[in-house]
Each structure stands twice: as structure tokens, then as C-alpha cells.
Amino acid sequence: MSIDTGDRAGTTTGTSAAHAGRAESRQWTARMRRAAESAFPPDQLLPDRQPAYMASWIYVFGVLTVVSLAWVIITGCILAIMGPSWWHVSSTGHFVNSLHLWSVEAFFFFMVIHLWGKFFMAAWRGNRRLTWATGVISFLVSVAAAFTGYVSQTNFDSQWISTQAKDGINSTGAGAVFNVLNFGQMLMWHIVLLPIGVAIIAGLHVLLVRRRGIVPPFADTAHDTDGEVAPTVAPPAGEPA
Amino acid sequence: MSPPRRRARRFNPDRDVREWKGAYVPYDILKEAFVAFLAVAVLIVLLAVVFSSPDDAAVTLKRWSLANPVDFAQTAITELDGTSATASYGPPYNSTPDAAQHIGFFEPAQWFGVHQPIDTAHDFVIYPLSTLVNQPTVQAALKLYENAPSAQQNAWTTAYEKAVGNATEVGGRLHVPAGRYGPVGVMIGTLTDMSQSGGLDGTLLSEGQFYNTNYTKPLLFIADGTYLADLAQAQNLQGPQWGMMNEAGNYPGQAWLWLYTMWYQVPPMKTSTNADLEVWSIMMVLSLGLIFLPFIPILRSIPRWTRVYRLIWRRHYRELAGA
């Protein structure tokens, strides 16, 4: 700890600045900023060029999935603003519900094609296993989100789906805390908990895609041998070996 | 002292990649996202305008008992005598022995126990009738039934169950042949009237509170009858018809549940009494397998073996061949 005695002001000021710099470097905030800048440089977060091999329609389905999710959220927010009964009694509400339904159908359609595309590209290669895992998990959480939407419709479909689905969920023991016949509980899961889950995991997935980049093609068959030594270093932090 | 050398691991084509040394091309990610956003907007508006969305009205106890009072009464007596599907369901609704599904010792529903307790005789029949305080005949019938020994109660409910099997509907009213069923005839007859008036819907939902959003009891009661299932059958929504992945009308429904629903169509799950737990266990294993697929030998090699990637990156490989 430095004490400013006055006669060594210049030296002491310099020491204080150095101490302040060291203290700042240990700050959680500063560390977080440095880690974020290191992981996501602006030209990687919002790239304006891509490798030349990215030349297939299959690459479009990732962004189509994301924008479909945006429409799911937008139409869902309108339904949430007006309340769960609005769409049964209003033609406008019914139309918004139709938009919500078809944006969900589009979301899953694009997501499944995206998933198959990534499977056939073996898109987990090159330290992208966490990217793959977050993609699969976001698909599974989305299935749960859609299911809770179906049982929250307050119509015949929701009655039938919930009374059928209860047996599967109850058989696992989850029915003790996740009661598909409880409309209030399902609605909360549908409009609060699961959308938060989807947004977090899908957001993480997109960030990982930006960080790792898109997976390169397999080596041409002539060079594709297991015996080659890769110019590989230890995997980046946060990624399993 | 030289720094320790990092051991290079062997290249695995299903795990590793070579760094891309080739060309890069301009790519406007925000423009692509904006165009995609508008394209999806056009798509969903078109689909919504052309196909709309299904919205068949919910089934109420009133609607059910008016449409089919015989089925309602036949279901109500099984709720009273404890033989309905809900009464014998087991966890999480009640503790019926050996009712929880299991695979060997794996019996998760039993481990979690009863968390939504339902006594069908009390909750679906006796309690609703007890709210009719201005009907002395009903209250007397209830008192007689509740004070009778269980053997007498069983004799009455058995007699009524037999009689209601031959019941008829005349002008929307329930007519049950005479029999030695004591107060049970008044009880079930009054419950049917109460349901037809709409009173039972509110009573089962309210549970003594003004606000309530838990439909567990009325839904279980309705699902115990055949009315809801008949409507579902007509809409191709039954389990053997690929069940809940469908929805009313000609809509795609939850098509992404096709694999889950498929397991119910194949042996041994098709006829198993533990089908739900078996299917859920299979899906849990498959889901974990999909998450950890990059770590699973053979499975992670399928993309390389099938060579579908050559179709995806055909331009890249064509340029390689040309070079």
C-alpha cells in the first residue's frame, strides 16, 4: 500500500497508477470484458466474409430457423399481451394464433433440415462438439416449449393431448411436479420458463457458431487417412478434448 | 530448460479438421438474416391465410352429459366405486398398489409418490353433491351412503353399475332400470342433472377458491368416459392413429414427435402395460445419444461413410478436382 508523503509525489503517483492498473486487471468486469473481446472479436461476431466452401442451400436453414424463432416470439408476445382466451373470440386473435402456429411449424421444419445437414457435414469436427450439443439441446427444449403450447390452447386439442401425454410424463415420475393437466402451470412453462431456456441455449449455439466458424469440408479422399498427424494444439478453454 | 512439448494427437477425420487455407468470399450476414426474416413472414402469412388454425371447442362436463348422459352415469358410478381409470391410476394421483409403470426395479413414478392426490369417490361425486345444500333428498342419500358399511356400499354400487349398463336416454334425460341400489340412484341421477346444468364444471374446478387454473380434476373425469375418446377417434387422434402428434383437422400437428409416437406402434410397446415408461426410456437414451454423438465411435463416422457431404460441398470438391 503506498502513502503519499508529498516529497515523492511523482514516484508515488506512478506507483498508485500501477496499483490501480493491477487492481483493474483483476476486476471481474475487466476480466469479463477481456474474455469477451478475446472470444468474440467484432469481425468474428459479425463477419463480412466466409470460406468459399460455404456454397450450398443447406447453409440457409440455420438462419431460417433463427428468424422463424423470432416470428414465434413476436406472435407469441401478441397473444400474451391479449391473454389466453382472446384468440377464441376474436377473428384477429385467431389470425395471430394461426401466424403463431405456422411460425412454429416453419421453425421446426427448418431446424430439422438444419440438424440433418449438420449431421451429414459432421459439423462437430474441429472442436465444435459443444456447438453440436447446444444445437441438439435447443431442439429438445423447443420440443418441450411447443408441447406446452399445445396443451395451453384451452380447446379440444389441448384437452386430448394433455390427457394422453400425462401417462408418459407420469410414468417417469415427472408428473409429481410437471402436471400437464394444470393449465396455469403449463402456460407459465410455455410463455416464461421454456422460452427463456430456448433463447439462452439457442443464443449460446449461435455464439459458438460465430466463435468456431463453420466446419470445413472433409479432406479429399486421397488425403483422408487416419494415420496423418494433425497440426492440432490443445483445444480452447471450455471445449472437451 | 526447454518448454515441455505438447503431444500431438493422431488425426481423426471424424473429430479433427485441417485449418482452411483456401479462399474467402464476401458474405453479408445481416442482409441474409433480414431477407430471411421477410421471407418467413411472407410464408407464415400465406399459410395462416390459406390454412388458418384448428380451434375445436373444449369438451365440458355439461356438453358430455347432455350429449351422452348414459356414458356420463356409467363413468360416474366407476368414480364412486373406485374402478375408473383415474381411481386405479396410481402415482401421482393415488397409491393404488402395483399401478405404477416399471421396468424391473426401475419404478420412478412409485419413487416420487402421490403429488396430485385424487379420491374419485369424494372429489368427483360426494363433494359436488354435498354442495347442493338446498336439496334435502340428495343430502339424505349422501348421509345414508356415507354411513353405510363398505360391504353395503359395494352392494349398492354393483347393483347400480349393472342397472346403468341397460340405461337409456329419453329426451336428453337419463333413465336407469329399477334395482336394489339404495341411495346411489339418487346420487348419480342428481350428479347427472348437476352436470347437465353446468354446475359440476364449476364445482370441480373451483375447489373452494374464486380463481383457479388447475383443470386436473374435470379433465380426468372427462377422460375416464368414452365421449372424449370417441371425438378423438373421429379426428384420428387415438394412440394407434399416431395419437398426440396429430391435432384436430388436417394440420401437421407436432410432426417432430414422429419417433416418440412410432415406438407406441411397434411391439413390445404396442401391447405392454409399461409402454409409456419404456418409450420414454428409449427416447431419453436416444436423446442423450444425439447430444453425445460426436463422442460415439461408428455413429460419428456415418457422415463420412455415407458421403452425403460430397453433395453439400460439391462445388468445393469440383474445384479441387479441377485444380
B23, B49, B254 ranked by CB distance to A147: nearest = B254
The pLDDT value recorded for residue B206 is 79
Q: Does A45 touch chain B (CB under 8 A)?
A: no
What is the percent of chain B with per-residue pLDDT over 90, rounded to a whole number? 83
Please tell me the pTM assigned to this model: 0.89
Average pLDDT over residues B32-47: 97
Q: Is the pLDDT of residue A233 over 60?
A: no
Give the mean pLDDT of B38-56.
97
- What is the arithmetic mean of pLDDT over B182-188? 96
**Mutation choice for A interface testing from B6, B21, B40 by most A CBs within 10 A:** B40
Residue B256, classed as helix, strand or coil, is helix
User: Residue A97 pLDDT more than 70?
Assistant: yes
pLDDT score at A1:
41
pLDDT exceeds 80 at position A14: no
Name residues whose C-beta falls within 8 Å of residue B179's C-beta, 6 or more positions apart in sequence: B159, B160, B162, B163, B185
The partner residue sitting opposite B216, judged by closest CB among A101, A121, A181, is A181
Rounded mean pLDDT of chain B? 93
**Statement: residue A212 has pLDDT above 80:** yes
Contact at CB, A46 and B29, closer than 8 angstroms: yes
Look up residue B46 and give its three cell numbers. 400465406
DSSP B235: T
pLDDT band for position A235 (50/70/90)?
Answer: very low
* Homologous superfamily (CATH) for A54-215: Cytochrome Bc1 Complex; Chain C (1.20.810.10)
User: What pLDDT is recorded for position A234?
Assistant: 39
Partner-chain contact B239 A164, CB within 8 Å: yes
Tell me the pLDDT tens digit for each residue of B107-119. 999 999 999 999 9
Residue B155, pLDDT score: 96
Of B26, B56, B232, the CB nearest to A49: B26
B174 sits in which H/E element: strand B173-175
> A222 to each of A64, A125, A226, B79, B125, how far by Cα in Å?
35, 19, 12, 72, 77
User: What pLDDT shows up at residue A25?
Assistant: 78
Is it the case that residue A6 has pLDDT exceeding 60? no
Hey, what's the cell of B63? 356438453
Instruction: pLDDT band for B130, please (50, 70, 90 cuts).
Output: very high
Residue A6 Ramachandran class (φ > 0 left, ψ -120 to 50 alpha, else beta)? left
The stretches of chain B forming alpha helices (DSSP H) are: 29-51, 61-67, 69-81, 108-112, 120, 127-130, 136-147, 150-164, 184-197, 199-206, 216-224, 227-234, 258-263, 275-291, 302-306, 309-312, 314-322
Tens-place pLDDT, residues A106-148: 999 999 999 999 999 999 999 999 999 999 999 999 999 999 9
pLDDT at B236: 86
- At residue A87, does pLDDT exceed 60? yes
Residue B170, classed as helix, strand or coil, is: strand
d(CA B260, CA A167): 13
In percent, the amount of chain A with pLDDT more than 90 equals 74
For residues A146 and A76, is the Cβ–Cβ distance under 8 A? no
Closest chain B residue to A70, measured at CA? B37
Q: What is the mean pLDDT of chain A?
A: 87
User: Would you state the pLDDT for residue A192?
Assistant: 97
Block residue for cell numbers 388436417:
B250
> Higher pLDDT residue, B103 or A2?
B103
Q: Which residue has the higher pLDDT, A12 or B287?
A: B287
- A229 pLDDT band, cuts 50/70/90, is very low
C-alpha cell at A54: 460455404
Contact state of A184 with B213 under an 8 Å Cβ cutoff: yes
- Inform me whether the pLDDT recorded for B2 exceeds 70: no
pLDDT band for A223, please (50, 70, 90 cuts).
very low
Whether residue B88 has pLDDT greater than 70? yes
Q: Is the pLDDT of residue A179 over 50?
A: yes
What is the identity of the amino acid at A37? E
B30 CA: distance to closest CA in chain A (Å):
8
Tell me how far apart the alpha carbons of residues A87 and B308 are, in angstroms, rounded to a whole number: 44
- Quote the pLDDT of residue A141: 98
Taking the CA of residue A95 and the nearest CA in chain B, the distance in Å comes to: 7
Instruction: Kindly report, residue by residue over A20-58, the tens digit of the pLDDT.
Output: 777 777 889 999 999 999 988 888 889 899 999 998 999
Q: How far is CA A26 from CA A33, A34, B50, in A?
A: 11, 11, 60
Please say if the pLDDT value at position A4 is more than 50.
no
What digits encode the pLDDT tens for the residues B224-263? 999 999 999 998 888 777 776 888 888 888 999 999 999 9
Identify the residue whose cell numbers are 497440426.
Answer: A231
